[in-house]
Amino acid sequence: MTKTSELHRRWSKERGYKAAYDGLGEEFDLARALIEARTAAGLSQPQLARRMGTSQSYIARLEGGKVRPSTDALERFAQATSTFSGRIVDAGDAVLPGVTVTVRNENTGVVRTAESGSGTATCTWSANVGSRRASSRIEL
């Protein structure tokens, strides 16, 4: 029996396969981000499913890229994993790249830090559930 990795390597030489595979990049990125957020929160798929009020099989399909989550599902996922996301902007709504954002869980002392990027300046990080204090700093 041929391994999947060998098939992928062989098929990647074909133009149509490579284009279709490359077109899935955003879906792979989303699936990877969901898995990383869940594991950073220390949750199993069944635990996350209970927090979200859904089934473990739905979580598996999300993480496997088999379904696209709705906005409602992403909001419930963020709430369940204590994932935060935001745009860092100035008073005129212009994006501010290079801002360091720190979130500290007041109950556990766990600190998560992220830096806003260029372009969208969206930063996402996970912290354990509990009372949090956020701060930001930019060096000019």
**Domains: count for the chain:** 2
- Give the number of other Cβ atoms within 10 Å of residue 44's Cβ: 12
| pLDDT lower than 50: segments of the chain | 119-129
* Predicted local confidence at residue 134, as pLDDT: 56
Q: Do 30 and 95 share a structural domain? A: no
Residue 26's Cβ-count burial label (10 Å; 0-12, 13-18, 19+) is exposed
Q: What is the pLDDT of residues 11-33, one digit of tens each?
A: 888 888 888 777 766 777 788 88
Q: Do 109 and 51 share a structural domain? A: no
User: What DSSP string describes 11-47?
Assistant: HTTSHHHHHHHHTTHHHHHHHHHHHHHHHHTT--HHH
CATH value at residue 38: 1.10.260.40
What domain range includes position 30? 1-81
